[in-house]
Amino acid sequence: MKKAKSKKDVYEIVTQRIIDKLKAGVIPWQKKWMSKHRRPENFVSKRKYKGILNMMLLSSLGYDSPYFLTFNQGKKLKAKLRKGEKGCPVTFWKILDKEEIDKDTGEKKKKKFFFLRYFTVFNVEQFDDLDYPKPVQPEEAKDFDPIKTSEELIARFPADTAKIKHAGDSAFYSPLNDSITLPKKETFDSEQDYYNVRFHETVHSTGHSSRLDRIKSTSFGSNEYGKEELVAELGASFLCSEAGIFNSIADNSASYLDNWIKALKGDSKLLTGACSGARKAVEWLIGKEEQEEDSKA
């Protein structure tokens, strides 16, 4: 009897196809959903909020407007914060100089140190009597037509998989809250793009300490962060292959992975190394597939 290909073979096939696309050239990766607004910024100073955590928090609140301000800033503009409205903390680092005396030489030396501060901001939509520019709406969103095979795959995920919220203009997994945030389904360029992004963030969530305990660092740009991105994108590719939509997203995945490989000093071996982590993540989500025997002699 001839045995059917094991799941491991499928993983290897998908990985090789991505590697082949990397060798063929890079296709610029683009965000796969329509943006409602620009990066969050302060309504009064017009300064854009910095730091990936600030951007993630503010973008995930679900407001159409990118403008935020403090209670006092609103008060100066004679705007009224609605009763019961909750603010969002944002942080910033300030570099200060401090003079210290060298114990050995007695000389005064300036030393820089970082001072972390935070304050609470509100979106302009939370105020009454405040005139602000209304965001330019994107093209009318099309209806979302669920892909049956992808929905069936999601139905196989364990009950304790991270919960998903559709809000805001960013897609990310928060290890702190163990939650996934995605833009609304109808804003994506295609149904395939939606499921690809959802699978990517879901694979990230398998690294939580309550699951595979894989995520050790969330420092943007670090090697650990880069490796985790490779795991998530490969895992998403495996899940898309399982759902039968891999061909629709392969070019974007290859380009995305190529960017991370370059960021990690061009070590192409990281791709195959990340395959192991991605495979474990997918097996946690949908289980190991038993090898089936072909009844044909």
State the total domains in the chain: 2
Half-sphere exposure of 70 (CA within 13 A, CB side): 10
Check whether residue 15 and residue 45 sit in a common domain: no
Task: Identify the domain boundary among 94, 128, 162.
Answer: 128
Check whether residue 112 and residue 207 sit in a common domain: no
- Measured over the CA atoms of residue 259, residue 260, residue 265 and residue 271, the dihedral's sign is negative
Domain annotation covers residue 293: no
What residue numbers bound the domain in which 221 lies? 7-33+139-286
Domain annotation covers residue 53: yes
Check whether residue 226 and residue 263 sit in a common domain: yes
42 has which bridge partners? 68
Check whether residue 120 and residue 149 sit in a common domain: no
The pLDDT value given to residue 293: 35
Decide if pLDDT at 147 tops 70. Answer: yes
Domain annotation covers residue 133: no
Domain annotation covers residue 280: yes
- Reported as a pLDDT band with limits 50, 70 and 90, residue 184 is confident
Task: Identify the domain boundary among 101, 128, 155.
Answer: 128
Instruction: Give CA–CA dist 223/264, Å, rounded.
Output: 6
Check whether residue 78 and residue 155 sit in a common domain: no
Check whether residue 16 and residue 49 sit in a common domain: no
Check whether residue 170 and residue 281 sit in a common domain: yes
- Reported as a pLDDT band with limits 50, 70 and 90, residue 27 is very low
Closest CA to 279 of 219, 206, 226, 210: 206
Residue with the bigger pLDDT between 143 and 77: it is: 77
Task: Identify the domain boundary among 107, 128, 149.
Answer: 128
- Reported as a pLDDT band with limits 50, 70 and 90, residue 158 is very high
Check whether residue 241 and residue 204 sit in a common domain: yes
Check whether residue 149 and residue 83 sit in a common domain: no
41 SS3 class = strand
Instruction: Give CA–CA dist 111/137, Å, rounded.
Output: 48
289 has which bridge partners? none
The pLDDT value given to residue 223: 63
What integer best gives the mean pLDDT of the chain? 77
Domain annotation covers residue 292: no
| Adjacency order of strands within the sheet including 179-182 | 163-166, 179-182, 172-174
Q: Which amino acid is located at 20 in the chain?
A: D
255 φ, ψ (degrees, to nearest 5)? -65, -40
Decide if pLDDT at 232 tops 60. Answer: yes
117 SS3 class = strand
Decide if pLDDT at 3 tops 50. Answer: no
Check whether residue 179 and residue 210 sit in a common domain: yes
Check whether residue 51 and residue 177 sit in a common domain: no
Check whether residue 118 and residue 65 sit in a common domain: yes
Domain annotation covers residue 2: no
- 170: how many CB neighbours lie within 10 A of its CB? 20
Q: Are 97 and 111 in contact (CB under 8 A)?
A: yes
Q: Report which listed range, 15-19, 74-78, 90-94, 259-263, is most confident.
A: 74-78
Percent of the chain with pLDDT over 90: 31
Residue with the bigger pLDDT between 55 and 31: it is: 55
Domain annotation covers residue 1: no
Instruction: Give CA–CA dist 142/4, Å, rounded.
Output: 40
Domain annotation covers residue 12: yes
